[in-house]
Amino acid sequence: MENDKLVIRGIEFKSRLWVGTGKYKDFKQTKEAIEASGTDVVTVAVRRVNIFDRNSENLLDYIDPKKYKILPNTAGCYTVEEALRYARLAREAGISDMVKLEVIGDERTLFPDVCGLIKATEILAKEGFIVFPYTNDDPVTAKRLEDAGAAAVMPLGAPIGSGLGIRNPYNIKIILETVKVPVIVDAGVGTASDATIAMELGCDAVLINTGIACAKDPVKMASAMKHAVIAGRLAYLAGRIPKKLYASASSPLEGMLI
Amino acid sequence: MRYSSLHPHGDAGLSIFMKIRLNGEDYEIPGELTLEELLESLSINPGRVAVEVNLQVIKRSQFGTFRIKEGDIVEIVNFVGGGQDGER
């Protein structure tokens, strides 16, 4: 696994598990879960500073940007203009050109607005951003995003926060065959086996937030996800056996008593 | 209306207060402060925020020279916990 590094636009990612920092009980738990996950990339949101309560703690007091790659998102943005605004602010607040681009099309499902997403990807890529768009599990959209300059594509396994797992593994497989950029499953992973399935399909990484943060024991789940991603990646690299209808004995027949 | 605690020489009477919109709220500052001065007065570490004035992102290297003017709409943002989606 040492030589199996994920590199995107020259940036080396040690972990194939990426972790969100929302929905935790407090910053202490966030930090513990992130440490247990073994990740080196965390997503964050961009929001107004609380001007009138300067004693409130900052996420970056707990998550050291020297230790972790900070991947800001444009979560909560419903238009191209909003997403561009947040991305530009994020770049200025942070230390890199990376942005997890979200242009949401529907409040109930949080499915992406793919037209807006492609447009925003194109604009941000031209501005020098390293764009990671959160998209549908649609191979055609994935290709359009790649053509628009996306550094990777991040198809959903299932709706954000749903924990429904990889609902359409066949589409994820087709996306993997369609685009050359890395494919990172974003959203829907509910438990360890979901993460493993994504990695066994050949995905380059998995991004998880709710599946870890809202588990009964987030720190334990973070550790489970870490192992699940490693297991799935190893199984993918090892190459699974073909599925067969009938048995195939694994013990020799030679030397039996009759 | 909130008032800033910025009274350069402790004498509000001599200062010319200026109204701005800061993170969605009306705010008064004593004269045309630079962004650096504004952040300092708010005890905000400039290394961890991004600032937008009238929808234009201001580069951190310009914080020391960029002056805020009457009626400016200022947004100061930072990173908070988030993964996918998020609340509006």
Q: Per-residue pLDDT tens for A99-130? A: 999 999 999 999 999 999 999 999 999 999 99
Give the pLDDT score at B80: 87
Give the pLDDT score at B84: 65
CB-nearest partner of A48 from B23, B48, B60: B23
Average pLDDT over residues B3-28: 69
Residue A4 vs residue A195, higher pLDDT: A195
Binary contact (B83, A89; C-beta < 8 A): no
Give the pLDDT score at B8: 43
Chain A interface mutation, best of B79, B80, B87, B88, highest count of A Cβ atoms under 10 Å: B79
pLDDT band at A253 (very low <50, low <70, confident <90, very high): confident
pLDDT at B10 over 70: no
Give the pLDDT score at A249: 84
**Mean pLDDT score of chain B, rounded to an integer?**
81
Average pLDDT over residues A175-186: 97
Chain B interface mutation, best of A42, A48, A102, highest count of B Cβ atoms under 10 Å: A48
Residue of A nearest to B46 (CA): A93
Kindly report, residue by residue over B33-76, the tens digit of the pLDDT: 899 999 998 888 888 899 999 999 999 999 999 999 999 999 99
Residue of A nearest to B52 (CA): A89
pLDDT at B13 over 60: no
A100 is catalytic: yes
Average pLDDT over residues A240-248: 91
**Mean pLDDT score of chain A, rounded to an integer?**
93
**Helices A139-148 and A114-126 meet at what angle, rounded to 10?**
20
Residues of chain A in contact with residue B41, where contact means CB-CB under 8 angstroms, are none
Per cent of chain A over pLDDT 90 is 80
Give the pLDDT score at A78: 94
pLDDT band at B17 (very low <50, low <70, confident <90, very high): confident
Residue A239, min C-alpha distance to chain B (Å)? 31
Binary contact (B83, A209; C-beta < 8 A): yes
Chain A contact for B47, CB < 8 A? no
Binary contact (B42, A207; C-beta < 8 A): no
Binary contact (A23, B43; C-beta < 8 A): no
Kindly report, residue by residue over A73-83, the tens digit of the pLDDT: 999 899 999 99
Residue A61 vs residue A136, higher pLDDT: A136
Chain A contact for B84, CB < 8 A? yes
Task: Give the 3-state secondary structure of residue B74.
Answer: strand
pTM across the whole model: 0.89
Give the pLDDT score at A257: 86
Residue A134, min C-alpha distance to chain B (Å)? 9
ipTM of the complex: 0.84
Chain A contact for B44, CB < 8 A? yes
CB-nearest partner of A92 from B42, B50, B88: B50
Residues of chain B in contact with residue A88, where contact means CB-CB under 8 angstroms, are 57
Residues of chain B in contact with residue A186, where contact means CB-CB under 8 angstroms, are 84
Chain A contact for B75, CB < 8 A? yes
Chain A contact for B59, CB < 8 A? yes
Binary contact (B57, A44; C-beta < 8 A): no
Average pLDDT over residues A231-236: 97
Q: How many residues make up chain A in this entry? A: 258
Per cent of chain B over pLDDT 70 is 76
pLDDT band at A60 (very low <50, low <70, confident <90, very high): confident
Which one of the listed residues A31, A69, A100, A226 is annotated catalytic? Answer: A100
Give the pLDDT score at A2: 64
Residue of A nearest to B43 (CA): A54
Give the pLDDT score at A54: 65
Give the pLDDT score at A117: 97
Give the pLDDT score at B9: 44
pLDDT at A214 over 60: yes
